[in-house]
Structure 1
Amino acid sequence: MRTILAVIGDYYHPAEAIAEGLQQSLAPLMASGDIEFSYTTVKYLAEELAAKPDAVILYKDNNVNPADEQVQQWLDEETEQAILRYVRAGGGWFAWHSGLASYPAEGGYVQMTRGYFQHHPEQKLVRSITIQPAERSGEEHVNIAADLAFETVDEHYFVHCDEASTTVFMRTYSEDGQSIGGWSHAYGGGRVCCLTPAHNRESLLHPVLGELVNACVQWCARMA
């Protein structure tokens, strides 16, 4: 049995909708007894990482109070270093949607994820489609079939991604342009996977997104 830990919810992303989508995505793994799934908060994250869960899901913006004049961020140096140590030592990290948002571009966390959120236009129809990953000799990456696609009205995340240092497995398209929607790579002895969709409850419950989330979690936890 693999242990999966999740940290979800922020100012713009209610935890209830994320949890509903996550529970639906992971339901087959929980029903079969393949995973033990639990939630924690950023306050206890470093402590929980010391217990060495098989994988961690982060769907949480770094900004705690983005609407205020003085914006606070939750990721301090101690927690960041705990995350990096955890993954280097063999842990799995799944940075999902806002788990890529507002983290310092030059910081250790983004050096680990090799990508970060830049902006999104107003919500509109976004098409997400998996692609055949380019071969990168000796590199591990998520194994997802190409041409798995879905369309929803949602935020179209535009990201910076260091494509030369990771393996892209999904791209996203809207009338505003195209971006990278999913990528994965090894980091030290661990695995890192990043996925940009989705924001809205309807999108989070889309069965194709659920399949993608399930595959990302399994890969991070070395179940696939």
Structure 2
Amino acid sequence: MVRVVAILGDYYHPSGRAKESLERALVSSITKEVIQIDYCSHDQIKEKLSLQPDAVILFKENRLNPIEVQEEKWMSEDLAAEITKYVSNGGGFLAWHSGLASFPPESTFTKMLRGHFLYHPEKHQLVHYRSTTENPILAQPISFEVLDEHYFVHCEEDNTNIFLSSESIDGKQAAGWFHTFGEGKVCCLTPCHNRDGLLKQEFVKLLGSCVNWIVSK
């Protein structure tokens, strides 16, 4: 059995719809083994890592109270070091949508991801997502459109592998990238925000493929 720890949900991203999307993704994906998900809060991550799960999925931004003047953040550099050590020793990690947001660019955690969220236009637009080249994550090319927050990111394109691009009237961006990190694997995925996008069949299959890749040995 494959064991996955998932940290889902923040102020702008309800955990319920992310959970529904993830569970549909695992049902729709083809795996050699059963995947068991252990949901936890951000303050339980270190404890969960000590149990050596096969992978971690993060759909949660770093800010705990983004509408307050004095923002509180949960990712300490000590925890970032624990996460990167876990991945370097063979763990899998998926940073999904808000899991790329508001973490310091100089953080050990962000350096492991080799990319981070910069901004998205205030108005949601129709975003076209398409796979870029042959890659070990997607068995077949993928292309779909969804009304979405179009994430603009900093991505170390020369130090990772782009497998998904995004395009809207606001521009073009990398939307998915992957690389190895020590003995482990890292995958970053920028869609989706709204429930319609999260439950769109094409996205559900895409998410399942990403999970399959981070847990595969």
TM-score class, shorter? over 0.9
Structure 1 residue 156 corresponds to structure 2 residue 183? no
Shift of residue 34, structure 1, vs aligned partner: 1.7
- 1:137: which partner in 2? none
- 2:112: which partner in 1? 112
Shift of residue 143, structure 1, vs aligned partner: 2.7
Say if 1:131 and 1:145, in contact at 8 Å, map to a contact too.
no
Structure 1 residue 209 corresponds to structure 2 residue 203? yes
- Decide whether aligned partners of structure 1 residues 203 and 192 sit closer, same or farther in structure 2, where only a CA change above 3 A counts: same
Shift of residue 78, structure 1, vs aligned partner: 2.2
Amino acid at match of 1:91: G
Shift of residue 32, structure 1, vs aligned partner: 7.9
1:157-172 superposed matches below 5 A: 157-172=151-166
Query: 2:31 & 2:167 partners in 1: Cα distance?
Result: 34
Unmatched runs of 5 consecutive residues or more in structure 1: 134-140
Query: 1:172 & 1:2 partners in 2: Cα distance?
Result: 31
TM superposition score normalised by structure 2: 0.95
Query: 2:80 & 2:30 partners in 1: Cα distance?
Result: 29
Query: 2:32 & 2:163 partners in 1: Cα distance?
Result: 27
Equivalent pairs: percent with the same residue?
41
What value does the CA root-mean-square deviation take over the aligned residues?
A: 1.7
Query: 2:6 & 2:107 partners in 1: Cα distance?
Result: 22
Secondary structure of the structure 2 residue equivalent to 1:106 = coil
Shift of residue 159, structure 1, vs aligned partner: 0.5
Structure 1 residue 89 corresponds to structure 2 residue 89? yes
- Decide whether aligned partners of structure 1 residues 31 and 131 sit closer, same or farther in structure 2, where only a CA change above 3 A counts: closer
Query: 1:8 & 1:204 partners in 2: Cα distance?
Result: 13
- 1:147: which partner in 2? 141
Unmatched runs of 5 consecutive residues or more in structure 2: none
Secondary structure of the structure 1 residue equivalent to 2:7 = strand
Amino acid at match of 1:159: V
Secondary structure of the structure 2 residue equivalent to 1:180 = strand
Query: 2:211 & 2:39 partners in 1: Cα distance?
Result: 14
